[in-house]
């Protein structure tokens, strides 16, 4: 079912979309190529998705680019991914500026190679006043690690009498996550036919709609994003209430 732009209701656009960009390796293999060829060809999909999302009025797009578990891949592949990150960020900076895109990163960023950290920080700094759209890269990201980290930081504040135990709530936990400056996820997309979350944004997707597609990430284009948003718009987000309550806006 292919959806065109016209089928999308512009009054009901998800504010925050998160994507598990999966299937680069299988895409390359299907073409008789090395896995890294798939990663290189993921860039068009990223550009198309970010452009389509921002044109529709999505404000936040968060892309799972490298998980804490991905460090266990062969060194050659990890190195290639890190160098791809650096060259892409450098190359795309003028486009981010032209399109008024703010770049953000979540994850254990200090685990990244020094050069990648440096370029990433430069791009974040250079785009920090851009307002149209926030593009967040999850790099060396693991949701459990993020939560462990938040618990440690909150505990330190409790010990130092900066936070009272009784005052710990959703908001305080949110403010100690890597995503402290992002709203909850409305729509999470995973490509390549896998139907799992793989340690991505566990806290933040509490009430997200999930969309799974068989498309391999390097093949993902605007129309696939439209499909996902169309799917999202045809769900009823009840947040624990009944259908009748949602209809009468109770």
Give the binding site for ligand IPE (CB under 6 A): 20-26, 64-67, 69-70, 81, 192, 194, 196, 198
* Neighbouring C-alpha atoms within 13 Å toward the C-beta of 50: 23
Query: 204: closest CA among 230, 177, 223?
Result: 177
Q: Are the C-beta atoms of residues 38 and 27 closer than 8 Å to each other?
A: yes
Of ligand IPE, Mg ion, none, which one does residue 65 interact with (CB within 5 to 8 Å by kind)? ligand IPE
| Residue least distant from Mg ion (Cβ) | 22
Tokens matching residue 110: 């200090």
Alpha helices in the chain, H assignment, sequence order: 24-30, 35-40, 42-56, 75-98, 114-126, 143-159, 170-175, 222-233, 243-247
Query: 139: closest CA among 159, 116, 114?
Result: 116
> What is the DSSP secondary structure assignment for residue 218, as one 8-state letter?
G
Q: Give the shortest CB-127-to-Mg ion separation in angstroms.
A: 28
Of ligand IPE, Mg ion, none, which one does residue 198 interact with (CB within 5 to 8 Å by kind)? ligand IPE
Given the complex with ligand IPE, which of 8 and 120 has the nearer CB atom?
A: 120
Contact code string over 9-38 relative to Mg ion, x by CB under 5 A: -------------x----------------
Given the complex with ligand IPE, which of 144 and 241 has the nearer CB atom?
A: 144
Of ligand IPE, Mg ion, none, which one does residue 70 interact with (CB within 5 to 8 Å by kind)? ligand IPE
Of the candidates 22, 24, 41, 227, the residue annotated as catalytic is: 22
Q: Give the shortest CB-30-to-ligand IPE separation in angstroms.
A: 9
Given the complex with Mg ion, which of 104 and 143 has the nearer CB atom?
A: 143
> What crossing angle do the helices spanning 42-56 and 75-98 adopt, rounded to 10°?
30
Given the complex with ligand IPE, which of 54 and 140 has the nearer CB atom?
A: 140
Given the complex with ligand IPE, which of 9 and 30 has the nearer CB atom?
A: 30
Q: What are phi and psi of 170, to 5 degrees?
A: -50, -45
Of ligand IPE, Mg ion, none, which one does residue 67 interact with (CB within 5 to 8 Å by kind)? ligand IPE
Active site residue 22: yes
Q: What are phi and psi of 60, to 5 degrees?
A: -135, 130
Contacts of 76 (CB under 8 A, 6+ apart): 36
Of the candidates 12, 15, 51, 70, the residue annotated as catalytic is: 70
**Residues of this chain that bind Mg ion (CB under 5 A):** 22
Which are the catalytic amino acids? Answer: 22, 70
């Amino acid at each position: 079912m292919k959806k065109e732009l016209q089928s999308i209701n512009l009054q009901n656009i998800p504010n925050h979309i998160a994507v598990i960009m999966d299937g680069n390796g299988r895409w390359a293999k299907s073409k008789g190529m090395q896995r890294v060829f798939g990663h290189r060809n993921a860039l068009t999909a990223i550009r198309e998705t970010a452009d389509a999302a921002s044109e529709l009025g999505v404000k936040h797009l968060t892309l799972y680019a490298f998980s804490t578990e991905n460090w266990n891949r062969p060194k050659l592949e990890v190195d290639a991914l890190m160098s791809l990150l650096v060259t892409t960020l450098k190359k795309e900076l003028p486009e981010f500026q032209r399109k008024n895109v703010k770049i953000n990163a979540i994850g254990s960023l200090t685990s990244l190679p020094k050069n990648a950290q440096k370029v990433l920080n430069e791009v974040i700094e250079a785009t920090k006043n851009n307002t149209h759209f926030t593009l967040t890269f999850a790099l060396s990201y693991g949701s459990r690690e993020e939560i462990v980290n938040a618990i440690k930081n909150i505990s330190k504040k409790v010990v130092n009498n900066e936070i009272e135990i009784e005052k710990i709530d959703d908001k305080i936990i949110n403010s100690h996550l890597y995503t402290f400056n992002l709203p909850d996820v409305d729509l999470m997309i995973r490509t390549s036919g896998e139907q799992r979350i793989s340690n991505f944004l566990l806290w933040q997707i509490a009430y997200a709609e999930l969309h799974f597609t068989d498309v391999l990430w390097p093949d993902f284009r605007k129309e696939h994003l439209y499909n996902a948003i169309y799917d999202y718009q045809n769900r009823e987000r009840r947040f624990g209430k009944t259908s009748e309550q949602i209809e009468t806006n109770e």
